């Protein structure tokens, strides 16, 4: 089993739709969690950190469920510019062991 | 700050040649990472440094790969001899312990080995 797994893609949704991605991780000692976004042929960029109580940044909401070891990302009112690959990232300790999931590709269609 | 700077952006070489990829981390960041990304395997950590010292190189595929960080502002990843299966995008990233423990990536070096 991979350490970080994500929903298989691609997700093709119309503009304005709400879309949710899930991510599961296997290491129960994981301490910090992130969502990164990667555009085609570009580098990954931080979208948002994921906090235990859940957090929101505009149209994006991230949730963490430690008991079930999964993380989610909800995108509301999706825009064409949201089209990208979304990478779930887990840090297994307070060090620097960042493990990336395989990513889920989102295409928002006009 | 100019961000993490990598060079070259693209490299095409022939099997057996030596390849050297370069990275300049963000000033003040004390961690530097080298990742490799392919369609099949996604993003894989190759090695990371803390204060110029290699901490974990368990991801380095084999002895053909080596990485150095002679000072806080420069690192290299070398492949010698290169093979077609080394074709990938190689990303350098840096992070600082004083911040939010967040990785900032460079634009990547796209390597093609013929």
Flag whether pLDDT at A96 surpasses 80: no
Establish if B53 touches chain A: CB-CB under 8 angstroms.
no
Percent of chain A whose predicted confidence (pLDDT) is above 90: 77
> Tokens in use for B33?
């990472």
Number of Cβ within a 10 Å radius of residue A86: 26
Q: How confident is the model at residue B77 (pLDDT cuts 50, 70, 90)?
A: very high
At A7 the pLDDT is 86
At A44 the pLDDT is 97
Specify the higher pLDDT residue, B61 or B11.
Answer: B11
Q: Find chain B residues with C-beta within 8 A of A99's C-beta.
A: 45
- Identify from B26, B103, B104 which residue to disrupt to test chain A contact, counting A C-beta atoms within 10 A and taking the largest count: B103
Alpha carbon B14 to chain centroid, angstroms: 20
**What's the mean pLDDT in A89-108?**
86
- β-bridge mates for residue B23, sequence order: B6, B75
B8: nearest Cα among B84, B76, B81, B103: B76
Q: How confident is the model at residue A9 (pLDDT cuts 50, 70, 90)?
A: confident
Flag whether pLDDT at A1 surpasses 80: no
Flag whether pLDDT at B89 surpasses 90: yes
Flag whether pLDDT at A38 surpasses 60: yes
Alpha carbon B22 to chain centroid, angstroms: 7
Establish if A91 touches chain B: CB-CB under 8 angstroms.
yes
A78, A19 in Cβ contact below 8 A? yes
Q: What is the DSSP letter of B85?
A: G
Looking at every residue in chain B, the average pLDDT score rounds to 93
> Tokens in use for B55?
């901490």
Task: Answer yes or no: do A96 and B55 touch at CB < 8 A.
Answer: yes
Establish if A31 touches chain B: CB-CB under 8 angstroms.
no
Report the distance separating Cα A103 and Cα A105, nearest Å. Answer: 7
Question: Chain A: nearest CA to B66, how far in angstroms?
Answer: 19
Report the distance separating Cα A86 and Cα A91, nearest Å. Answer: 16
Q: How confident is the model at residue B45 (pLDDT cuts 50, 70, 90)?
A: very high
Report the distance separating Cα A16 and Cα A23, nearest Å. Answer: 23
């Amino acid at each position: 089993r991979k350490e970080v797994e994500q929903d298989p893609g691609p997700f093709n949704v119309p503009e304005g739709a709400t879309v949710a991605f899930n991510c599961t991780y296997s290491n129960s000692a994981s301490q910090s969690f992130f969502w990164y976004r990667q555009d085609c042929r570009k580098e990954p960029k931080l979208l948002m950190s994921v906090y235990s109580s859940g957090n929101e940044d505009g149209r994006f909401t991230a949730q963490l469920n430690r008991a079930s070891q999964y993380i989610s990302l909800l995108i509301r009112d999706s825009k064409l510019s949201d089209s990208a690959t979304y990478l779930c990232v887990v840090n297994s300790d307070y060090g620097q062991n960042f493990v990336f999931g395989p990513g889920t590709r989102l295409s928002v269609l006009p | 700050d100019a961000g993490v700077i990598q060079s070259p952006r693209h490299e095409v070489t022939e099997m057996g040649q030596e390849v050297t990829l370069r990275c300049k981390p963000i000033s003040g960041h004390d961690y530097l990472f080298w990742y490799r990304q392919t369609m099949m395997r996604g993003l894989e950590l190759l090695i990371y440094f803390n204060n110029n010292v290699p901490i974990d190189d368990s991801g380095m595929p084999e002895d053909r790969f080596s990485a150095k960080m002679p000072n806080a502002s420069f690192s290299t990843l070398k492949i010698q001899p290169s093979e077609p299966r080394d074709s990938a995008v190689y990303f350098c990233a840096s992070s600082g312990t004083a911040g939010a423990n967040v990785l900032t990536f460079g634009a990547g070096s796209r390597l093609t080995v013929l």
